[in-house]
Chain A
Amino acid sequence: AQSVTQLGSHVSVSEGALVLLRCNYSSSVPPYLFWYVQYPNQGLQLLLKYTTGATLVKGINGFEAEFKKSETSFHLTKPSAHMSDAAEYFCAVSPDGGSYIPTFGRGTSLIVHP
Chain B
Amino acid sequence: NAGVTQTPKFRVLKTGQSMTLLCAQDMNHEYMYWYRQDPGMGLRLIHYSVGEGTTAKGEVPDGYNVSRLKKQNFLLGLESAAPSQTSVYFCAARAIPATGELFFGEGSRLTVL
Which A positions have Cβ atoms within 8 angstroms of B?
9, 32, 34, 36, 41-46, 49, 51, 90, 92, 94-96, 100-102, 104-107
Q: How far is the CA of A96 from the CA of B98 in the complex (A)?
A: 8
User: Is the contact region of chain A dominated by helix, strand, or loop, or is it mixed?
Assistant: loop
Q: How far is the CA of A105 from the CA of B41 in the complex (A)?
A: 10
B1 to chain A, nearest CB (A): 13
Interface contact B42-A32, CB-CB below 8 Å? no
Given contacts A44-B102, A51-B99, A95-B98, contact A9 B48 (CB under 8 A): no
For A50, give the chain B residue with the smallest CB separation.
B99
User: Chain B interface residue count: which class?
Assistant: 20 to 34
- Residue of B48, B101, B105 touching A34 (CB-CB under 8 A): B101
Please tell me which one of the listed residues B92, B101, B106 contacts residue A42 in the complex, with CB atoms under 8 A apart. B106
Most buried by B among A45, A95, A102: A102
Q: Is the beta-carbon distance between A44 and B104 smaller than 8 angstroms?
A: yes
* A43–B90 touching, CB < 8 Å: yes
The complex places the Cα of A94 from the Cα of B43 at a distance, in Å, of: 15
